[in-house]
């Protein structure tokens, strides 16, 4: 089950395991379109992936600190270290491939 992050909770939420941080906005059509597919990635991971969602409209300082300049942005972490980032308008297949690499130990 995905977790909503704030500026105060973000670092703790991405600190352990494989994490997909989804920076989205309520007015971002591509974000909303991808949301069901992204949530399914977590559900189908058998616990190997944690989905952390960040509402950019409510967490502008966090977006700035993470260098998120456009939506949607997906940041993939392994044990607190950023291993890759997808920005612009990635497809669900591109996100799935990046998550698979993350979970399997690649970048």
Residues marked as catalytic:
28, 31
The tokens for 56 are 């950019």
Question: How far is C-alpha 18 from the geometric centre of its chain's CA atoms?
Answer: 10
The tokens for 100 are 């698979």
The tokens for 6 are 């704030």
């Amino acid at each position: 089950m995905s977790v909503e992050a704030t500026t105060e909770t973000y670092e703790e939420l991405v600190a352990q395991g494989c994490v997909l941080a989804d920076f989205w906005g309520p007015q971002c059509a591509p974000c909303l379109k991808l949301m069901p597919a992204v949530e399914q990635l977590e559900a189908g991971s058998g616990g190997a992936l944690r989905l952390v969602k960040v509402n950019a409209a409510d967490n502008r300082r966090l977006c700035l600190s993470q260098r998120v300049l456009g939506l949607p942005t997906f940041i993939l972490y392994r044990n607190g270290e950023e291993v890759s980032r997808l920005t612009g308008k990635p497809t669900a297949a591109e996100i799935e491939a990046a998550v698979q690499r993350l979970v399997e130990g690649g970048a």
